[in-house]
Amino acid sequence: MEILFNMNVTPIYPASSPQYIAQATTILKQEEVIVFPTETVYGLGGDATSDIAVAKIYALKNRPTFNPLIIHVATLAAAEKLAMFSADAKKLAKLFWPGPLTLVLPRQPDCPVSLLACAGQSTIALRIPKHPAALELIRLFGKPIAAPSANKSGKISPTQAIDVAQDFEGQIPFILDGGACLIGLESTIIDLSTSQPTILRQGGITQEQLEAVIPLSSLNSSLIKAPGMMKSHYAPTLPVRLDVTHINAGEGLLAFGPVPQKLKQAKLIYNLSEAGNLTEAAANFFKGLRLLDQPDQLQQIAVMSIPHCGLGRAINDRLQRAAAERN
């Protein structure tokens, strides 16, 4: 069997190959963990019905067990076996699935998904990914797959297979490589477990898109019901300074749109989108953070302002958490 890449004994295989997807399902059935691509970021996947597999995910990520995992399924019918869908939930699912939207819903009484994956709560976070390899993997496996982003907890999410190989240094037995993620930001998470639908995390489906379908309320909960709700998250090693108007010594610049002359003195510059396009910026966001996270060359990452609309809301959410006081 040909191995395309090796990073500290981490095998990476093409996700376009039915042979390797079949091998990945064999590993999942052994209650082991694999990595697979989605349209958002790469996922660290395990059998969602297995306490052992779910525990391995938490251990590999060094993730707090009070932070729930997103459960991936291939069809709406499969999702309805796991959760109770309101009329609003069905409406959103039919409009945005497959796609970068996660719904938090009440668990079905006989839901087979591990309670550990749901952090012991009465709700479950579900989505259908919009990636052919991910969908084929779930279909072939025949069970829901628990899959948070394939990075160490709180760190930068991976949008390429090599990101995962570098972060885990041989700890993952099998990585499916689907190339660079199309969207590059995690899914939007909306809580539909109460009478007031609430966005818990901004992401690949914009707030404006959701509000065109159902009314939304403001986030007002200290309970961590979904990933990405911890104050410090998506953080590089270097500290992050937001909405900059000047550059300090030793800073790299995460830019957006035309770069003012006074910011061009940054030691390193990565522009998310020279044209000021938020879709392009979202796809490049985590890649840009990784490229600037160089403690041997820089002291801090400075970030230009990002418009707070559309996908800009999701980018700014990630930036606020990246810049927050570390846990």
In angstroms, the Cα distances linking 27 to 23, 31, 46, 137, 173 are: 6, 7, 9, 11, 9
- pLDDT for residue 229: 52
User: Would you state the CATH architecture of domain 5-211?
Assistant: Alpha-Beta Complex (3.90)
- pLDDT for residue 251: 97
- Residue 285: name the closest of 195, 161, 183 by CA: 183
- Residue 49: name the closest of 117, 3, 95, 110 by CA: 117
- pLDDT for residue 195: 87
Instruction: State pTM to two decimals.
Output: 0.86
Pairing of strands 101-106, 43-47: unpaired
- Residue 102: name the closest of 215, 185, 196 by CA: 185
For residue 240, the SS3 value is strand
The sheet that has 251-255: what strands, in order across it? 240-241, 300-303, 251-255, 268-271
Distance, in Å, from the CA atom of 192 to the CA atom of 22, rounded to the nearest integer, reads 34
Average pLDDT per block of 10 residues along the chain, 327 residues long: 45 93 97 97 97 93 84 98 97 98 97 94 96 98 97 89 89 94 95 92 94 80 53 76 96 97 96 95 92 95 95 91 79
Interval 5-47: pLDDT, tens: 444 456 899 999 999 999 999 999 999 999 999 999 999 999 9
Cα of first residue to Cα of last residue in the chain, in angstroms, is 42
The CATH code for residues 240-323 is 3.40.50.11030
Interval 91-121: pLDDT, tens: 999 999 999 999 999 999 999 999 999 988 9
The rounded Cα 229 to chain-centroid distance in angstroms is: 12
List the domain boundaries for the chain.
5-211, 240-323
